[in-house]
Chains A and B, each alone.
Chain A
């Protein structure tokens, strides 16, 4: 017989006590139950987004500014759709294309956005730590949409949600992350989120793209992709940036594909039902073969995109609850 008392962490606390953070600058600093809370919150939006009438009005009258200092198509679009479906007035600031130069006027930009009374700011920036710098200066919640090689927390949340829905659980899943671990904020946030939720994480990269002391983040590093794939539940491929493919870090895309490309033969080393993931955009034929990327029942790549909107809706909702005076959060 089930106990009448729910002993799960966070189960008996409500409102702000369950998620006491003003901003979402990274997975670092979040407790496992706080990560699970955001995933649980995202669940409701998955079904809602699949219906014809997708609009909600909880963010009516609030202004969401997406300040992107680095080019992005899908993340920006995902945040824009998420905000609009909640009723927010969404404004995009393409700082990467404007005269805002690297770092120089970042604090000034933050103060400007603050003076315009933004209710929530979503930031992407090419420098690690830039989002925290802005979060310290503004009065409204700040969401990190990727800062340098540091963190990309909503990507990790949507990946965790995808894994949980497809595999039933995150705990004890063997997740293999392969690619440019050195420069990847997606890898860092995923490592933090998945290890916090008790997954077994393996990271795979040539030594030139593997950060030092990565094992201190409670993962097992591999240079041999085939060995790492043995018994994998999830294979997460990372995008290789063009500028790193032609000699600086690896000799060529051809050679990268030879050692680290996810082919159907390689995938066969993982569990028969292993999930294939990629944060996009993909370099088909480089880090992942088309036949794998499009493999029915195995590839979760488009589902990741879908989960992205739901997760971002949940984050926007949760972070603005205090300002909206939601009971238990104000």
Chain B
């Protein structure tokens, strides 16, 4: 398969923005036009590395196609839990040929937070990182061994930061909204408390740690200080905590029940600042489709999580439009940095990279509609929001995903 993309607005996280052509041969991006290439006229639209969505909970091909996502980092919170080589290998193969699935293996057996899973064996079967899953490992001794052993295996630990003692059965962040609604709530410092411990353990063990989502000012302060000391720490966030706050759970809207819960407005502003100043490395969807049987319940009884794969790109482009980010930086957050974390060569437009590409009309207007999602479920907290930007065509290794 040989392709030449003509007349494109090329956006590369490392090479910046330029207008021109991009060539593909043998599944890779190449420097020179190959003979007999099929011509694709981009009409001046954006051609960028396809999105790499780190930390999704379900393999949802239709949602990924609609969202311009060619690769996912699949969380170990599957049924059964991805804690053995057979399960990891099966997960790695199940997206083919339309979607690259990079499994993230469970750090502990059954994600129970007690006994170490087989890191090296699972890595050989295709796992690209290990994770604590949806939960926090409460036992500091176990977490220290997880980090130390992951360092030995050269794997990053993807952590969830919520002190489980403080969080308890909370379904909302402590504050006026939770008080008015009478919802079980936990103070926002449950996050920073967890981050502080895990950073100390990572620093002491020399392990690389990634916090899948950070959502509070106090947590970002800890990250900045740890980085200044040389701790190998990265962090991510979803559009929800950038664009919504706890007032969005008013009226008991279960689509806005997330983990961690939506924070107050000052923390939301802190997330925006952390995105702008480079503290945040990865923007992910947290894709977690849940049907009505999980969501059409009283708020506290519903399952947390949102469908996000289809809206990630458009919401990200909105941040560019609002001058929060440049386009190349957006694609560093959406493609290059997740690739680096997973240890895969992808996420830029440099020759030699796999031809995972997305052609984007950045201005195409549409309205997020929970009843009309391409993916498995429509549990989006952004229902009704008008957005701009669509993935027109998606290529994985030079082959178009229909």
Contacts and interface: CB of A to CB of B under 8 A. Distances in A.
Contacts of B179: 211-214, 216-217
B176 A127 contact: no
Contact of B180 (A28, A102, A125): A28
A196 B299 CA distance: 26
A129 B298 contact: yes
Interface stretch (A6-14, A49-57, A146-154, A233-241): A146-154
B139 interface: no
Nearest to A184: B182
Contacts of B181: 128-129, 150
B180 A129 contact: no
Contacts of B297: 103-104, 106-107, 127, 133
B245 interface: no
A111 B27 CA distance: 54
Interface residues on B, range: 20 to 34
A130 B299 CA distance: 8
Nearest to B251: A132
Contacts of A188: 180, 182
B185 interface: yes
Contacts of B15: none
A103 B174 CA distance: 23
A213 B298 CA distance: 23
Q: Interface size for chain A: under 10, 10 to 19, 20 to 34, or 35 or more residues?
A: 20 to 34
Of listed A28, A103, A106, A151, residue having the most chain B CB within 10 A: A103
A185 interface: yes
B252 A216 contact: no
B175 A129 contact: no
A130 B187 CA distance: 24
Nearest to A215: B176
A132 B174 contact: no
B232 interface: no
A46 B250 CA distance: 36
Interface string B374-390: 00000000000000000
Contact of A212 (B182, B185, B251, B301): B185
Given A212-B187, A213-B176, A216-B176, A130 B298 contact: yes
B178 interface: yes
Interface of B: 174-176, 178-185, 187, 251-252, 296-302
18 contacts: A102-B301, A103-B298, A107-B297, A127-B298, A128-B182, A129-B183, A147-B182, A148-B300, A150-B181, A183-B182, A188-B180, A188-B182, A211-B179, A212-B175, A212-B178, A212-B187, A213-B174, A213-B176
Given A106-B297, A151-B182, A216-B176, 5 more contacts: A127-B301, A128-B181, A128-B252, A132-B252, A213-B176
User: 10 closest Cβ contacts across the A-B interface?
Assistant: A149-B182, A129-B252, A127-B298, A103-B301, A150-B182, A130-B298, A211-B179, A212-B174, A213-B176, A216-B176
